[in-house]
Amino acid sequence: MRNMKKLLSIPFVLLGVLVHAQQINDSISTVELGPVTITGNRANLIPGAGQYISSKKLAQLNQSNIINVLRIIPGVNIRDEEGFGLRPNIGLRGTPVNRSAKITLMEDGILIAPAPYADPSAYYFPTFLRMQALEVLKGSSQIKYGPYTVGGAVNLLSTPIPSAFRGFAQLSVGSFGTNQQRVWVGDSQNHFDYLFEVNRVASNGFKELDNGGNTGFERRDIVAKMRWHTASSARVPQSVMLKIVNFTEDGDESYLGLTYEDFKNNPRRRYAATQRDLLDMKHNHVSLTHIIKPTKQLSINTTAYYSSTFRDWARVNTIGGQSLNNILGNPSMYATAYQIMIGQANGNIDYQSAARTYFSKGVQSNLQYGFYSGSVEHKLQAGVRIHSDQADRYATRSVYAMTNGTMILTSAGVKGNQENQIRNAESVAAYINYDLTYKGLTISPGIRYENIQFDFQNFGTSDNARLGTGLRSATNEMNILLPGIGLNYNFKNGHDVFAGVHKGFSPPGMPSVTSTTGQARVEEAINYELGYRYNKNGIHVQAVGFINDYTNILGSDNMSGGGLGTGDMFNAGKAVTRGIELSAEYDVLYKENSTVKLPINIAYTYTKATFEETFQNGGGDWGTGLINKGDLIPFITPHLLTASIGFENKRFNTTLISRFVGETKTKPGQGKGIVPADNVAYNSVNAIGSFMMIDVSANYQFNKTITGFTTINNLTNNQNIVANLPNGYRPNMPLAFTIGLKCSF
């Protein structure tokens, strides 16, 4: 009932503040994309460092792995995990990367994490191969895109409904049995438009399981969009669009990596103890969007959405009574457990099935209103979102016997004997933003409001029926105002400068019923940026300096981040992240209307993130023990560099991209990093060494319908350690080829 009252109040709240969410447009088809698109071709007009990767660029790169695409944008920090980019760990401007839980993730402007407030870890991430474009927003103009406003937002744009009958088909095959099939068809009529899309991608995997077996995955996506709209001549244009997404994934993926010695011998190895590890995931989404433009100056976009996600990641948990980290840290001391792990000895393996069901629903509405007063342009923007989500978590521990290299179930656990809890969250979020433009100057003050209510219910591991006999519960509510202002000055000759300051925020997660350090407070930071852009004569340059000054930075205890998996959040006091983002693009053969191009691109990021207080850390992502003022915050890479060169003409294009990832601390500390090496103890390692990858892609258009393409990932077949989480060292994808055909009709 409380949510229903909130939902009914949305239109009155919005009409009362007279808002607008993006640029004013004259046609209903353009208005539909306006409130969704963060940057698009407005990247040189917004007061923050927004960047946009177009469908043309994605078609040239032919990358199925979003990690390889995001690295061409400065300010994006990523940790790879399984080599295919299915669950990327993304951070922006120094935010933690684990499960992308500290950034706002969206598809077509709708939150897509399974439970973005109650349990934000993004175990579900949309299949990147079906996306049309990609947007990343950082800085003061992200006030509209919470709840995570310290680092920024990533918005994935799905295939749009075409303006006339069109279809597309893509087929590819590649290394390790990787293959993809994608087909979509769509049309726009006088009053009814549609798009239907089917996408499948699968692989046998590049890792080699002891005693054989699949280490790959299979993903299937079905997407439907159906839209009714008024005639183009209607006095009040409007449309209603229904979007449906159905997604399934079966993945033979594990949390367990390798010891350093085993990585040296074969970085693609998977231990016998992971033979039963399996990820089962299902995701369904439905949204209904209504757009109306009562006048040329006013447009209103309202979306109701609902999604459900089921995820069960079943995996090895302990071996021979020893934790995975104990075995990885000292295989000699725990020799019996290690021999069981590799299938050379018989013994018991504790196996955990981590089943979670997520629900997310809400209504969001954005209004946009623009007008002129003399030579001054005014744009009012505002929006309200009423949202609720839930994470229902059952973890069940069973026992297998490793017998002659094969795991045999000996004791099936009772559902919930390891974890049995429900996490609920409700939120009301609203923003108001005002753009005033006079000649070349745009001033954009704004404010965001968040009200969040958390409800945590822990039923205990003995009450699988949830009768409440051992129930421990806790609630928490918070209200926060987040002001900000941005400025942009366009000199009309290709140059413009921008600056901004805004208050950033991250929710503190569930109230804990077990923590000894008390309830975590909200994470707050004052964020500053100053930037310069140039765009003229085939040259595009952007340089930005930023500082995120945290009052109380948040850490977390997740198994995927190296913790115990309690899910508790904890404050670590003051911290500062500062850095520089540089990007440049130059067409060496630039000539107006030329069809021959030779583009060169560079993206560089420098980030320094430090704790500014000394404190005793209780565990989780940052380990245990004393953390000193000045210690580097782990998993934030100081130096990132991506450079590319390409060639394009009417029929052919090719791109060579080199990506450098600098040494990355994995534990808080100062001084020189200790990377994995011979005679270096596992627990002494505090950094992952630098590495570089080179990829090549090419497309050749045979005719107006058929295009052939190929990609080569990791051209030099570098064998790198790219992560040490969740448990043990993990490799990048080795040299891999893909060849395919695209058909447009």
pLDDT tens profile 724-737: 988 999 999 999 99
Q: Which residues contact 367 (CB under 8 A, 6 or more apart)?
A: 14, 15, 17, 18, 19, 20, 21, 298, 299, 300, 301, 381, 382, 383
DSSP 646-670: EEE-SSEEEEEEEEEE--EESSSB-
pLDDT above 90 covers a percentage of the chain that reads: 84
The dihedral through the CA atoms of 41, 42, 45, 46 has a sign that is negative
Which amino acid, 514?
T
Query: Contact at 8 Å (CB) between 478 and 448?
Result: no
Q: What is the pLDDT of residue 17?
A: 39
Please give the Cα distance from 724 to 667 (Å, whole number): 11
pLDDT digits (tens, 9 = 90+) for 277-314: 999 999 999 999 999 999 999 999 999 999 999 999 99
User: DSSP string spanning 349-407?
Assistant: EEEEEEEEEEEEEEEEEEEEEEEEETTEEEEEEEEEEEEEEEEEEEEEEEEEEEETTEE
The amino acid that residue 566 corresponds to is T
- Residue 441 bridge partners (DSSP): 438, 489
Asked if the model's pLDDT at residue 477 lies above 90, the reply is yes
How would you class 212 by CB atoms within 10 Å of its CB: exposed for 0-12, middle for 13-18, buried for 19 or more? Answer: exposed
**Residue 256 DSSP class:** B
**Is residue 548 a contact partner of residue 562, using CB atoms and an 8 Å limit?**
no
Other C-beta atoms lying within 10 Å of the C-beta of residue 211: 11
Give the whole-number percent of the chain exceeding pLDDT 70: 91
pLDDT band at 551 (very low <50, low <70, confident <90, very high): very high
User: Can you say how many angstroms the Cα of residue 219 is from the centroid of all Cα atoms in its chain?
Assistant: 18
Which segment of 38-52, 109-123, 474-488, 592-606 scores lowest on mean pLDDT? 38-52
Could you tell me the maximum CA-CA distance found in the chain, to the nearest angstrom? Answer: 84
Please give the residue range of the domain that contains residue 477: 2-744
In this prediction, residue 451 carries a pLDDT of: 98
Return the closest-CA partner of residue 46 out of 379, 503, 540, 366. 379
Query: What CA–CA distance (Å, rounded) separates 206 from 421?
Result: 36
Please give the backbone phi and psi of residue 291, each rounded to the nearest 5 degrees, phi first: -125, 130
Instruction: Please state the φ and ψ torsions of residue 268, each to the nearest 5 degrees.
Output: -90, 5
* Whole-number pLDDT of residue 514: 73
pLDDT band at 625 (very low <50, low <70, confident <90, very high): confident
Give dist(CA 542, CA 628) in Å, integer: 35
pTM check: above 0.85? yes
Provide CB contacts within 8 A for 466, sequence distance 6+. Answer: 420, 459
Q: Which residue has the higher pLDDT, 397 or 40?
A: 397
CB neighbour burial string for 24-58, b if at least 16 within 10 angstroms, e if fewer: bbeebbebbbbbbbbbbeebbbbbbbbbbbeeeeb
CB atoms within 10 A of CB 332: 6
Q: In which residue are the tokens 């229902």 written?
A: 392
Residue 622 has pLDDT above 90, yes or no: no
pLDDT band at residue 518 using 50, 70 and 90 as cut-offs: low
**Residue 425, Cα to own-chain centre: how many angstroms?**
20
699 φ, ψ to 5°?
-135, 140
The pLDDT assigned to 26 comes to: 35
Per-residue model confidence as pLDDT tens digits over 357-415: 999 999 999 999 999 999 999 999 999 999 999 999 999 999 999 999 999 999 999 99
CATH of the domain at 278: 2.40.170.20
Integer angstrom CA distances of residue 633 from 74, 96, 601, 686: 19, 9, 29, 11
The pLDDT confidence band at residue 610, using thresholds 50, 70 and 90, is very high
Q: What sections of 321-412 are H helices per DSSP? A: 324-329, 335-341
Per-residue confidence at 18, pLDDT binned at 50, 70, 90? very low
**Total domains present in the chain:** 1
Q: What number is the average pLDDT over the span 695-720?
A: 97
Q: Which of 27-31, 133-137, 666-670 has the lowest mean pLDDT?
A: 27-31
Tell which wins on pLDDT, 32 or 134: 134
Q: How many CB atoms lie within 10 A of CB 261?
A: 11
Q: From residue 581, give the alpha-carbon distance in Å to each of 530, 584, 610.
A: 10, 10, 18
717-744 mean pLDDT: 96
Closest residue by Cα to residue 157 from 227, 281, 58: 58
Residue 654 token pair: 């090719």
